[in-house]
Every structure is written in structure tokens, then in C-alpha cells.
Structure 1
Amino acid sequence: MCASSTRPSPWPGAGGAPCGGCSCRTSTPERSAVSTVLTTPALPLARTAFPEREDKAVHLADQWALGVLADTRRGLAPSPAREIAELGRLMAQRAEELAALDDTTVVARLRAAATTALQGGHRAALHEALLLVAEAAGRALGMRPYPTQLVGAATLVRGRLAEMQTGEGKTLTAGLAACLVASAGVPVHVVTVNDYLAERDAEKQAPLFGFAGLSVGVVIHGKAPEEKRAAYACDIAYCTGKEMVFDYLRDRVAQGGRASVAQLRGRQLFGALPTPPVLRGLHYAIVDEADSILIDEARTPLILAVKAGPVDNADELPRALSLATTLVPDDDYLIDESRRDVRLTRAGRDKVTAATTGWGGPWRAFHVREHLMTQALRAQRLFLRDQHYLIDSEGAVQIIDEYTGRVLPGRTWEQGLHQMIECKEGVTLSERTQTLARITYQRFFARYLRLSGMSGTAREMARELSVVYRLDTVTLPTHRPSARRYLPDVVCRDRDEKWQTVAEEVARRQARGQPVLIGTRSVEASEALSERLHAMGVPHAVINARQDAGEADVVAQAGQRGAVTVATNMAGRGTDISLGEGVEALGGLFVVLTEYHESPRIDRQLLGRCARQGQPGECVAITAIDDDLYTQHGGVSYRALVRWQQLQGTVPAVWMSACRRAAQARAERMHARTRRDTLRQDRELEQSMGFSGDPL
């Protein structure tokens, strides 16, 4: 059931746009219509045609002060347990009254209560709206939300980040909040980490939205602009962060930067703006897996570029790669694996200069010569096939997202690195690109009138989330006590021993019928383990960037008796694995972590695939001393452990645990610096563009 919207549009002559899969027609609300619900006099609005918050830089001293205030607020904040208990009592007291209401009355009262709750922030009105949306969920989905989920939804409506442990029903929590806010007439974006989750979650929550008379659209990669415009025009749009940011950049480029309503009308009148924008403003967003999107992926700016013809100096790329093989590590160049950077030494520069004497062309210019050699060394030493990229069926280099384990279609490395890697692999060179616009996640999401988020692993990043995104983190208790059983870590001497140990443990578990999920960090690692399992006669399924067909079917079977699933990070976030009949008696799902990540949050996400909602589950970490985390970030302590192993043969597990924590802390500090530098550079570029009259 979908309801029509008659809200006026600021776009000249624009009517409604049909929502994907809906029979209704919705239109873009004017700034004033939404500002009465979401904005306050203290909220600075950008001078643009569509609603969004003003993007202001925060000085270092203010950032420090905001961080202290965020820590203080978090320490003094009342426990959410009190509100959970209060809502639990209200649900019990008013169950009969709400059950007696007809559907039309429930929807009408929900819209009234939601509008009052958002306009004034009244606690009583918000609780009333939550009870009504819970009643709607019970009727439409056959699922009665727990009080913890209602408080999670309240946290989102208030513009905060709800930290809910894995398996606590974040999908329904987001659906409740989205339904409540959209019922007040506010357009809602639910942002997920990948297309699979966007489609899955929208489909799961569609009956609830339909019951409330709301339309829902899905924006995924590959859709035409008209389809995306229709989806964004719906009351609720599910999308991925990357896809939405690129749509935002395309709109801004088409508008010629920031533009007021009058400017847009004038440009359309004179034919300078033939089509309306895809997005209709940044009103309210719920960011699922917020620490992944707002923290992990915020290290790299999103760059909108167009093809600009053949790459310069294409004939010189093979010569650069050949010359790079003659250089000696440490003597001629230094590698920083943690930053994926290479720097030529003085001896290396002299060696390159001598070797290229008389070559002519780009080799005569010092800065071009050094750039070619640096990119050649990076392509050979730091960017590895089936770990950082793969070659698809059409012979193209496809980047693998290190956080999600998925292919990033259409994405390329800049400054000639992508073409250097293509040359290394012997595939057809792609065209060079020209940058049209860029923006960081930090600046984009901070422009929402109200931003909220969810994650099972956010407390470590609470200060940064508060300073950068104005998001206070609220940690909610679990609905049921966790029954997850952690087995002692197993530390192997090298990777070969690790894979053999993992394969033997999996075979043992599979023989007794217990389902097993094995998490790996790369396509290469998942396929190496798959070969071991094949050799031992263990039937299994593999999910990685190369083998992602039928992902939903593989996940659906992963919790069945005797199932074995090998997966990269694709199965680490948002994946809900249901247990088959009799599996609980066998100990539940058994999760094997085969390599620690640079962030312990990602490790916890993988281990959180088991023992959800009070079910049993077991997990173990089987790692090797020569794993990337230790070699890249271990430092002095790691080198000491390697020396001890050489002398004694083994390393105490407690020492490895301490080394792992130190390495992860070192990596997190480095990534935090990278995010700060990326944001600073993006603001400096925005300021320089402002002088030319074309800021984003």
C-alpha cells in the first residue's frame, strides 16, 4: 500500500517521479516544508537550492574541545536501560488498546505523533510514535520489536549513533526509525555498505513501509539516472554510500557547483540545465555499519572523473616496470607497506638517472622520471593480484574494497597507477581520467540536516564520530545475554602451517555436522584455503570478489548442518546466518578467523556472525606469525618475537596477543592521521575552488 504525496517541488515544472516498484508518485519537498520539522535556529543551512547543512571547518583547538565535551557527555549520559524498561512497561500496558485500533487509525496517529516528536523533540510524543510503529511492524511483518530495538530507533530519530551488538536486529531497528521519520514527511536515506544489503533490507522492510503508506526505492550500481531519480523521490531510499556520493557529485557538476533556486531556474530557462538533479536534498540519513562507512572508508576521497583519452607515455610503462626490477630494496628504494608508499633513495635516483641516459622523452624530466619509477615499484611491490585487485572475465583490472571484500566497479587508481598495474598484468590499458569533482565522506555526511547511524562496533571511535559528524554514540545492552564461546587463539609458525591447521579443524567440525564459517582477508587467501579443503575432500562454498554469484543462496545455507563457507570480508558485516535444525545442539555456528585485521572492529564483526540473539556459537582465531598485520605494523616488538621463535621454536600466545594489540593500535593511529590529512586537503581544495567561483 502506497500513499501519494502532494508536497510541492522547488524544481521548475517538476511533477512527481514514480518510485521504483511503487504505483505512487512523490515529489521533492521545499526547503521550508522540511526545515520546520528538522531544523532549528541554531542549525546553519547551506545557501543551496536543496536542503543541506552548511559545511564548516573546525579548527584544531575546537576539535580537541569538542572531543573532551563528547567524552564528558558520554560519561554523564543516563543509561539507556531506564528508557528500555519504560518502553517495555508501556508496551505491556497499552498492548490491548493498540491491538483494538484499525489499520487506518494506527497510520493516522503515527503520522501525527511522528510530526510532533520531530518538531519539538517531545519524549512522550516520541514514545507514542514508537509504540504505534511497533504495532505497525507487528501487523505488517509479523515481528514485535523488543524494547531494546525501540530505544535503538529512538536513538536514530534523535540523530545519534546506536551501538547494538551483532545479531540484535539492526535491520528492523533502522526500518522502525525510517518509517517514523518518513511518516512526519521527511525524506529518508538508509545507507548501507553494499548493494546486496541495500536490496535485502529494503525488501524485508517493504511491508512495513507499505502499511504506513510510504514508498520505498533502492539505488544500486548500474541503474540509469531516471531510475535513481525515481528511487530518491520515494519517501525512503535504500542506497550505498559510494553510489549516493557520486550521484551528489554528478548533480553538483551539472549545476555548476553550488546554486540557489533562482540560479537553477535561470539555467533551466536558458537550456543550461536540461534535466533535474537526481537527489532532492540531504534531509535525514540512517547509516548502517556506520563505523565502516564513516571511519574506515573515510581515508580516501571519492573522486568523480571522466575518460580523457589515451594515457600519456603509454610506451614507457613497460620500460619503467623493467627498470624497476633492477633496483634493490633498502639500497635503491624504501617501502612503507602500511601506507603503500615507495621512496627512492639518493643511490636509487642516481641509478635510475644513469640507466635512462639517452632515453629521451619523459625520462629527461626529473619529476616525471621519478614519478614513473615510483608508480612502477608500487605496482610491483605493493599492489598484489587477488588481494588488492583481480582480473575479471573481460580482462580488466578491478579494484577490491579492502573493507568489504567486494569489487568496486568503475573505480580506478589515480596518477597513472591503474595503467601501470594493467601494463604489469599484460591487459589492455584503460584511458586516463580527468577529475571533475571530489569530496570526502566526512564533508558529505556532515551536510545532512540530521544524521544518525548504527553499528555493532563503534565505541572505540566515539570521539571521532562526535567531532567530525556531530554523532554521539549510545551503547545499548543486548536483549539476551550472549552465549558466544571464545576458544584460545592458535598461533602457527607460518602461513602454510596455518592453512593446514585451519583445514584440519574445519574437517573435524564438519564431520560432526557443525556448520563452519571461515573468514579470510583476500581472494588469494580464500582460494588457497579452498584448495586445501578440496584436497581433504571437505565440501564447501566460497564467497569472494571473484565468486559472488548466488551470494544470498550461499549465506542462506551457511548455518545448515555440515555447511562449510569460506568468505572474505563480504560475510563480515550485515550477514545474518540462520541456524538449521539441530545445529544449536551441536554448538551453533563455528567461526574461524584466519588473520587479524588492522582494526579490531572488523575482527569483532566476523566473530559476531555466530551466537546471535542468545543462540550458542563458537569462534577461534588461527593465525600465523608472518601475517600482514605483524609484518607491516608489528614494529620492534614483532621483530623481537620473530627472534624468540627462531631461538625457542614457539612464541607464547600471551606475547602474540600483546603484539597484536600493539600492531592494531599503531595501524589505527596511522589511519586516523590519514583521515585528518584527507579532510584537510579536501577543505583546502574546496577553498581554492571557491576563489574560482565553482565550489562544491
Structure 2
Amino acid sequence: MELDHRELAVGRPYPERADREPAVHDRVAEYLAKGLIGRAFEGLRDPVRVLMPIVEYTAAHENALRIMSDEELRVQVSSVRAKLRNSGFTPPLVGRCFALVREAASRTIGQRHYDVQLIAGFGLLKGRLVEMATGEGKTIAATLPAATVALAGYPVHLITVNDYLAQRDAGEMRALYEFLGLSVGAVVQGMPKADRRRAYASSVTYCTNKELAFDYLRDRVALAHRSTSLHLSLERLRGSLQRDEDLVLRGLYFGIVDEADSIFIDEARTPLILSSSTGAGEERLQCEQALEFASGLVAGEHYEIDLAERSLALTKEGRREIGGLAEGLQGVWSSIRAREELVTQALSAMMLFNRDQHYVVIDGKVQIVDESTGRVMPDRSWERGLHQLIEVKEDCELTERRETLARITYQRLFRRYIRLSGMTGTAREVAREIKSVYGLDVVRIPLNRPSQRRVASPLVCTTPAEKLRIIADRVDRLAVAEGRAVLIGTRSVGASEEISAALNARGIAHALLNAKQDQDEAEVVARAGEPARVTVATNMAGRGTDIRLDPSVAARGGLHVILTEYHDSRRVDRQLFGRCARQGDPGSCEAIVSLQDDVFMIHAGSMTRLIARLVGSRIPVPLRVYKSLRWLAQFQAERRHGYVRVQNVKLDRRLDRVLAFSGRGE
């Protein structure tokens, strides 16, 4: 990993890149160089062409390696390991290493890297974000740079979105890595500290973004008062082992982020906060009083709601009303600022957070649903008393309030890797933000086989009831009558259960996959390609799990995907459509949506109401008008989310500067 020592962070327990905020003149120069000039020459150069020579470098060794015995191949690996340390990642040497990995993969896991996967692997090694279509083999492509860097002696982190994928990929690729003399570890939720340390001590570690982030924060908290240059020097002099026992990570050397757009963009709107429990005291009584006061306030008079921003604010009349309601009460109610914040949080719990959309109640506990993946996030909670207010609202047992110990955003965490790369199926829509924030160029990798996906024109209904009826009709025709497999994608738990009820009313058998039934996710999604199989799923939709088509389903046209509500981002829509027609298989997809869907009503309300009036007056509305409505709604939503991400980074930096005066930092 070539890096100027001046770019390394000072006073850190292990190697990582310094996270410095660029000066104003540097940002202007970067914008001129990369924004204006770079964009002008963008169309003149093909970023894939720069990576293609790796195919020839790799092929040059293929015949010789194929006739070698396993022992001879391992001798070659040892030779390459020494040369990587001495010479670095030169293209000819990387080609030789890739050839060894490809030959080892064919012998151990029965898979051989395609040429396009070699190109993708070289892009990852060069610090690019590679866009590979769904089903093109991102998992095996990542083994090429991971093994190459690990053979050079640097720790490698392969970061994905959930525990299942981390464990699955580590297990499936273990034989390949071990053949090359490398160790493999997996970090998942609930692992003891000692097991985490062992997993991170492996040559290649598979982990989730959240586990990595919180392990990093725990390391920082553990050494909060012992991380200055003086402490580091003193501990080195006395040979102390205490520091090693406090840490789990070995450094942020090389990170490969799978489903990078989801982690870099969708999940980057929320900072990661490490917290500890504090006493509950009279919390329930306060929450009950706050919810009672909030229920008596009137929208528009006492408070204003902004659904697009997911926020609300008290009016002057609202503040006066709360003051009157709290008159004579003691404790928190005697403080103007504290009582107004508490009632505002109570209003948020009632108006902005909905059951089976933003959270679910399982076994009497409120559990947050990750809106970008549709999965439950156990042991996560909202801050500033919001979680406890929702628990009282749902009549659940109250958990203790949490006190913040450390916080960081994904933007700041991943920029600390000495070398960072990523892979996803959908990145071009956010390529500019990813370049600006993470410094990664997006490279689109060509398909290994031509796509056979057929995309039908969208169907826009006026009411949700009409949408449910048409979806049930479509499933009846495609799955029941024709025997094709159908996958129905929804945005929330509640929406998936509504569609499930509509299918049950027709007597159509189906599998339901959402945050309440996610234990058998991989099996449910893997079976989604069987004849007459109907699967209803939230955003999770088994990302990373292959849907293998039954031959009879392929003969009838393949998997049909129905999108039932546009998401805030076009990328997520493309991810769902990417579930069909993978690796050259046949398949089709369509969108069946309603004008009353949240994305239209919240982000393009005026235009939506105008179109609804035209439809109600039986005036024909051209398809291009509906497409314009979708573009406007998603543009507004993505613009607001982008603003939130920028503000998160600014707030994170500001807090870091303020806390630095107290010696705490993050």
C-alpha cells in the first residue's frame, strides 16, 4: 500500500489514513480539475480500457499453471508473495498473482474467473468502485484483489451488508484462501471480543459495515485517554501488551465494500453512535405525560409537519400550549427547553414513525427496521428518548436510555482506509457524490453474457386498492396459469402484508419475506425461481443470493419481477429489477404503482394531485407525464437525502473539533 507517511493519522493505535478536511482553496482546485476539466474529457477515455491489459497478463501464465501439481502451485504462490512485498502491485506481477488465484479457484471451489471478473478485480485493486450487473459474480471477483493484497502481507476487510453474506462468503471462499496459504475470518453480531480479535487477525476478514464501524468506535473508546504520541512512545519503550488486549482491529489497510452504494449512500444518512445504558428513573411517567400532551396538540396550529424532511417544529402557539399543560408540574416539565424537546419527540413518535414501516414489535420489543435493506436491527435504538417514547406508545417494556460514548459517520470511517474500493450493481446515479466524498471513480464492467431482460411499461393506478387488484390479476395469470416464477418487491413490512392478504384472498400460495420473517431469507430467495413460485419481499429481497431458474421456468420466460412502489432512489428500483434475467437468463420486470404512494405524495404532491384530478375527469394522461412525475419525485427525494448526508458530515466534524478541546475526540 503506497502512501506518503504524511497522509497517515498521527496518534492512532494502528495504521489508518488521516481524515483531514481540505482547505477551501484545495476544494476549489479539485472542483476545477476533476469537476469541470475532468468532465470535459470524460467522454474521450474509457476507464475499462485502462484495466483490460490485466486479461493478457493473466492469460500468459494460464497454460503453465494448469499442468502444475498442487504442491508446485503453492511454491509459485510463495515466490509471488516475496515479489509482491519487494516490487509492489505492478501489472505483470498482479497478472501472475491473478492467474494463480484463478487456477486455485478452479481446483478448490470449482469456479473459474471470467475475463470480466479479472477486469473487475484489477479495478478493485486500483481503488475503483466497479459496477457489475446483478449476478455477474462480484463475490468471486473480490477474491482476486483480496488474495493479492493479503499475499503482500496486508490485512484485508471484505465488507458487506449483513451477517448471512459475511458468513456465507467466508465459508464458500475459505478453501480457495487456505490453498493459497491465507487465513479467513468472519465477524458477525454477538461475537465475543476475543473471537472478534482472532477474526480480524486473519489474512482476509469478512464483516458487515455496522460491526466494523462499532468495533472501530470501541477501539477508540478503549484508548480514549491513551492514544497521544507520548502514550504511544512510552508503551513502545516498556513493551506493554495491554494495548493489544484492548483492541480488536489491526488497522484500516485495504477495504473492499460490497453493495457499496447501499453502504456509502443509503446508510450514510444516519451517524453511527456507540452508547451505554443510563438509569431509567421516572422515564415511563414522563413519556406517558409527553404522549398525552402531544395527542392534545393540533397539526397546523400547534406544530408544523414536513414529511419530506421527516421533521416537525412547534409553533409559538404550540409552545404556549405546552407551557400551560406543564404548569405546576415538577422535574423536566419545569424547564422550558427540556419540556418542548420532550413533547416534540413525542409528536415525532406519534406522527413520523409508523409500526411495520420504521419499526416492528417482536416479542414485546420495539425493533428498528433498516429502511434501506428492510432488515431488523437488533440492539439498535433511537437517541434522545425517542426509542422510549415509541415503546410507551406501543405499550412495551421500557428499555434504559442510552448515553453517547462515541460517534462517526460512514463517510469519515471509510475515508480512513489506506486503500478503499467497492463493488455494486447500481452506482452510476451517484458516481459524482461517491467521487466527491470517498475519492472513488466508478467503472462499469461489461456483461459476461448479453442481457435478455424485458422491461414492460409502468402501470400507474389511481388508488392502492386498484393496484392490489391488478397485482393479484398479474400473479394469477403469470404464476398460476403460465407456471412462471414471480417476485413482488415492496418498500415496507406493512405493504408486503397488504399484498400477502390480497393474494390469500385469491387463494394464491406464496412466500412472504420481510423483517418479521427473515430467518430463512436465503432459502426463500433461492427458491424464488421454481415453477409457479410467488415470493413477496421487502427491500431485502435476498441481495447477494442467486435466484437459480428451474429449466421449465426459463423455457416459459424466466422470473418476472413486479415493483409495487417506486423508492426514493432509482438505484433501488434497478436493484430489484436486477433480480431477474441474471447471467444471460431470460426474465421480465414491470412497475405497478399508485398515485397515492408515499414517494409521489411527499416529494411531488402538487403534480400528483393535478394528475389525479385529470384522471378523475377521464382526461387521458400520456405515459411520458407519469415518467416525468417519477423523475421529479425521485429527484426531490435524492436531493434531500444528499443534503442530509452533507449535514451529517459537517456536524460530525464540528463535534469532533469541539470534543477535541476536552481530549475526547470522537
Whether TM-score is above 0.5 comes out as yes
For the 8 Å contact 1:156–1:452, the answer to whether it is kept is yes
Task: Supply the distance in 2 between the matched residues of 1:486 and 1:159 (Cα, whole angstroms).
Answer: 33
TM-score scaled by length of structure 1? 0.90
Return the match for 1:467 from 431, 436, 442: 436
Consecutive unaligned residues of structure 1, counting only runs of 5 or more, are 1-36
Task: Supply the distance in 2 between the matched residues of 1:535 and 1:268 (Cα, whole angstroms).
Answer: 71
Moved more, 131-140 or 307-316: 307-316
Q: What percent identity do the matched residue pairs reach?
A: 46
Say whether 1:365 aligns with 2:332: no
Counterpart residue number, 2:390 = 421
For the 8 Å contact 2:451–2:581, the answer to whether it is kept is yes
Task: Supply the distance in 1 between the matched residues of 2:505 and 2:596 (Cα, whole angstroms).
Answer: 24
Distance 1:396 1:133, change over 3 A: same
Residues 163-208 of structure 1, C-alpha deviations (whole Å, 9 max, x = no match): 1111211111112221121111111000001111111211221121
Task: Supply the distance in 2 between the matched residues of 1:253 and 1:44 (Cα, whole angstroms).
Answer: 20
Residues 450-495 of structure 1, C-alpha deviations (whole Å, 9 max, x = no match): 1111011112222222222121221211112211100110111111
Say whether 1:316 aligns with 2:286: yes
For the 8 Å contact 1:67–1:464, the answer to whether it is kept is no
Matching of residues 612-623 of structure 1 within 5 Å: 612-623=582-593
Distance 1:268 1:398, change over 3 A: farther
State the one-letter code of the partner of 1:329: A
Distance 1:660 1:62, change over 3 A: farther
Task: Supply the distance in 1 between the matched residues of 2:49 and 2:317 (Cα, whole angstroms).
Answer: 67
Residues 90-144 of structure 1, C-alpha deviations (whole Å, 9 max, x = no match): 5555432221223233344345446656854422222222222212222222212
Residues 397-451 of structure 1, C-alpha deviations (whole Å, 9 max, x = no match): 1000000111111110001110110110011111011111111111111111111
Task: Supply the distance in 2 between the matched residues of 1:334 and 1:506 (Cα, whole angstroms).
Answer: 42
Matching of residues 505-584 of structure 1 within 5 Å: 505-511=474-480, 512-571=482-541, 573-584=543-554
Say whether 1:56 aligns with 2:24: no
Counterpart residue number, 1:102 = 69
For the 8 Å contact 1:83–1:151, the answer to whether it is kept is no
CA RMSD of aligned residues (A): 2.3
Residues 657-680 of structure 1, C-alpha deviations (whole Å, 9 max, x = no match): 111111111111111111111111
State the one-letter code of the partner of 1:97: A
Distance 1:199 1:295, change over 3 A: same
For the 8 Å contact 1:225–1:278, the answer to whether it is kept is yes
Matching of residues 172-183 of structure 1 within 5 Å: 172-183=140-151
SS of the aligned residue for 2:488 comes to: strand
SS of the aligned residue for 1:583 comes to: helix
Distance 1:651 1:361, change over 3 A: farther
> By how many angstroms is 1:311 displaced?
5.4
> By how many angstroms is 1:691 displaced?
1.5
Counterpart residue number, 1:250 = 218
Say whether 1:147 aligns with 2:115: yes
Consecutive unaligned residues of structure 2, counting only runs of 5 or more, are none
For the 8 Å contact 1:398–1:411, the answer to whether it is kept is yes
SS of the aligned residue for 1:253 comes to: helix
SS of the aligned residue for 1:190 comes to: strand
Between the two proteins, the alignment pairs up a number of residues equal to: 658
Matching of residues 159-174 of structure 1 within 5 Å: 159-174=127-142
Moved more, 238-247 or 649-658: 649-658
Task: Supply the distance in 2 between the matched residues of 1:80 and 1:274 (Cα, whole angstroms).
Answer: 42
Say whether 1:478 aligns with 2:447: yes
Counterpart residue number, 1:655 = 625
Matching of residues 9-408 of structure 1 within 5 Å: 37-40=1-4, 43-59=7-23, 62-63=26-27, 65-71=29-35, 72-73=37-38, 75=42, 78-82=45-49, 86-89=53-56, 94-110=61-77, 112-113=79-80, 116=83, 119-256=87-224, 258-259=227-228, 261-262=232-233, 264=235, 275-310=245-280, 313-393=283-363, 395-408=364-377
For the 8 Å contact 2:57–2:91, the answer to whether it is kept is no
Moved more, 547-556 or 115-124: 115-124
Task: Supply the distance in 2 between the matched residues of 1:668 and 1:61 (Cα, whole angstroms).
Answer: 28
Task: Supply the distance in 2 between the matched residues of 1:121 and 1:76 (Cα, whole angstroms).
Answer: 28
Residues 214-243 of structure 1, C-alpha deviations (whole Å, 9 max, x = no match): 111110111111111111111111000011
Task: Supply the distance in 2 between the matched residues of 1:77 and 1:129 (Cα, whole angstroms).
Answer: 31
Task: Supply the distance in 2 between the matched residues of 1:489 and 1:169 (Cα, whole angstroms).
Answer: 29
Counterpart residue number, 1:669 = 639
Residues 493-545 of structure 1, C-alpha deviations (whole Å, 9 max, x = no match): 11122122112211211111111111111111111111111121111111111
> By how many angstroms is 1:81 displaced?
5.0
TM-score scaled by length of structure 2? 0.94
Distance 1:414 1:48, change over 3 A: same
Distance 1:92 1:626, change over 3 A: same
Counterpart residue number, 1:443 = 412
For the 8 Å contact 1:111–1:184, the answer to whether it is kept is no
> By how many angstroms is 1:594 displaced?
0.6
